[in-house]
Structure 1
Amino acid sequence: MKKEIVSLKNIVESIVPITRFNRGEANKVFEEVSEYGTKVVFKNNVPACVLVDPKRYEEMVEALEDYALYFEAEKRMKSAEKEGFISSENVYKKLNINEAELDDIDVELE
């Protein structure tokens, strides 16, 4: 997959009229998606969908998930600052346990 520089030429080349699919050129369009990363399918001169290379799609989804986690962490940190952060030592005291007791516990996260 080539890196794209945004230019008028790249934009024009990324446009695919729906008629190419109607003429049986889907395989050729998919090859172009593999080579260039994306294609925008137009129907009646209006964008109908965007075809994206699967690897690029996964990267985009992972980036969105990372941003969502980042913003959630930011929100929680601001909330913790407002409510008063509780240190792990204070939690241990409050629950009457010590860190050594937690060393032998296996935790599974999904």
Structure 2
Amino acid sequence: MSIEVPLDTMVPISTFSRGGASKAFARVKDGRPVTVLRNNEPTYVIVDRHDYEELRQAQIEQENAEARRQVEAGEGHTFSSVQEMRNFLDA
């Protein structure tokens, strides 16, 4: 898998050890994350809170959709009581 990252969003990790963290954080804009490079490879991505919350919400919706699909397909386990479910989870 390859990652395409705009050049103007890349910041070497050494920037953070030289007091450049605040400048790197200031570059983070809505929809424009900063990519932190380690050994010339994209390693970390800095996003603003709004983008993170959108990403997290999309992840939750995807997980819920998968759970619905599994239920509709009859996959998974069926429990007759909460205790039975607890026993299964503790095993």
TM-score (ref. length: structure 1) = 0.57
CA RMSD, 1 decimal? 2.1
Taking the aligned partners of 1:71 and 1:19, their CA distance within structure 2 comes to 40
> Does the 8 Å contact 2:30/2:51 carry over to 1?
no
Please say which structure displays the higher CA radius of gyration: 1
**Distance change (3 Å), C-alpha of 1:36 and 1:27:** farther
- Report deviation, 1:11: 1.0
Percent of residue pairs bearing the same amino acid type: 29
> Does the 8 Å contact 2:9/2:32 carry over to 1?
no
Structure 1 equivalent of residue 36 of structure 2: 41
More helix by share: 1
In the TM superposition, structure 1's runs of 4+ consecutive aligned residues that sit over 6 Å from their partners are: none
Corresponding pairs, count: 72
Taking the aligned partners of 1:38 and 1:74, their CA distance within structure 2 comes to 32
Taking the aligned partners of 2:21 and 2:63, their CA distance within structure 1 comes to 35
Out of 61, 65, 74, the position equivalent to 1:70 is 65
> Does the 8 Å contact 2:35/2:45 carry over to 1?
yes
